[in-house]
């Protein structure tokens, strides 16, 4: 595995372990420990920690190294908000840049999954098509910087998605998992050449994903506590602004 791939692999593994609960907020991530855990040298570990810092998942502190930052329902909303900003614009720009035969093939595969019985294999195929569609839109958006940012954050999106699918698969509970239908609306709007409808369908898909991720990955009391903190934070900001 080349150097860059090792770094990306480490980033993906750390993010996956973070979402599984293997690392806790405030925990120090020692370079030597991670190198042994993931079977790589310290160089890609150090580079991965810098990348994770840029994604907001760890904080690099003087004399302490990398420390895991808090991650909860509010952070999921923040990630999904950023995703909506980036991917709705990419979807709008990609309209007319994707060949009809590519969209037709995606539509056919998505419809088959919508009609198929839900199972572990259904979950795996759903994740594969999710990656295929979002990668295709980023690739064809006609903006290299926009595509770069989408790819940079994709490790977060996919790790969240994978964590949700793992939990649903463990319980054999695939209800309320409607990504394929949501993706199909995006694909059909792109095929019709309707950029705004495609962007709106993508926005709806990401908004539903944000709600589903919160409820699948966190306890209700965690969600309520975060919402209360957001409300109190907004109230404090309003009071401070009035006081000025």
Same domain, 9 and 122: no
Same domain, 27 and 109: no
Report the pLDDT value the prediction gives residue 221, as an integer from 0 to 100: 83
Per-residue pLDDT tens digits for 80-134: 999 999 999 999 999 999 999 999 999 999 999 999 999 999 999 999 999 999 9
Of 231, 194, 241, 3, nearest to 91 (Cα)? Answer: 194
130 token code pair = 């999710």
Same domain, 136 and 177: yes
Its pTM stands at: 0.83
Same domain, 89 and 39: no
Same domain, 109 and 206: yes
Same domain, 167 and 85: yes
Same domain, 61 and 126: no
Per-residue pLDDT tens digits for 3-16: 667 888 888 888 88
Domain residues for the domain of 38 are 3-68
Same domain, 50 and 81: no
The answer on pLDDT for 242 being more than 50 is no
Contact assessment for residue 127 and residue 170, using Cβ atoms and an 8 Å cutoff: no
What CATH number should be reported for the domain holding residue 22? 1.10.10.10
Coil, strand or helix at 58? strand
In the chain, the number of structural domains is 2
Contact assessment for residue 30 and residue 42, using Cβ atoms and an 8 Å cutoff: no
Per-residue pLDDT tens digits for 150-179: 998 888 898 889 989 988 999 999 999 999
- Per the domain annotation, does 238 fall within a domain? no
Same domain, 115 and 83: yes
What CATH number should be reported for the domain holding residue 98? 1.20.120.530
CA distance 115 to 129: 15
Same domain, 112 and 150: yes
Which CA distances in Å does 88 have to 12, 25, 66, 159?
A: 24, 31, 33, 20
**Widest CA span in the chain:** 60
Same domain, 90 and 57: no
């Amino acid at each position: 595995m080349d150097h860059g791939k090792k770094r990306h692999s480490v980033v993906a593994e750390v993010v996956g372990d973070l979402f599984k609960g293997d690392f806790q907020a405030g925990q120090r991530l020692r370079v030597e420990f991670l190198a042994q855990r993931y079977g790589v040298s310290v160089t890609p570990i150090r580079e991965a920690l810098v990348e994770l810092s840029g994604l907001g998942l760890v904080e690099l502190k003087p004399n302490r190294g990398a420390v895991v930052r808090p991650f909860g329902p509010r952070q999921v909303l923040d990630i999904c908000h950023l995703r909506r900003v980036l991917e709705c614009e990419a979807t709008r720009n990609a309209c007319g840049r994707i060949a009809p035969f590519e969209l037709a093939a995606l539509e056919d595969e998505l419809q088959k999954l919508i009609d198929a019985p839900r199972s572990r294999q259904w979950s795996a195929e759903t994740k594969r098509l999710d990656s295929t569609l979002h990668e295709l839109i980023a690739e064809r958006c006609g903006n290299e910087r926009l595509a770069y940012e989408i790819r940079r954050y994709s490790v977060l999106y996919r790790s969240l998605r994978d964590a949700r699918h793992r939990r649903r698969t463990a319980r054999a509970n695939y209800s309320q998992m409607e990504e394929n239908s949501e993706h199909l609306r995006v694909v059909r709007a792109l095929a019709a050449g309707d950029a705004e409808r495609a962007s709106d369908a993508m926005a709806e898909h990401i908004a539903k994903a944000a709600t589903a991720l919160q409820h699948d990955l966190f306890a209700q009391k965690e969600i309520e506590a975060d919402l209360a903190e957001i409300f109190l934070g907004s109230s404090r900001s309003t009071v401070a602004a009035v006081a000025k």
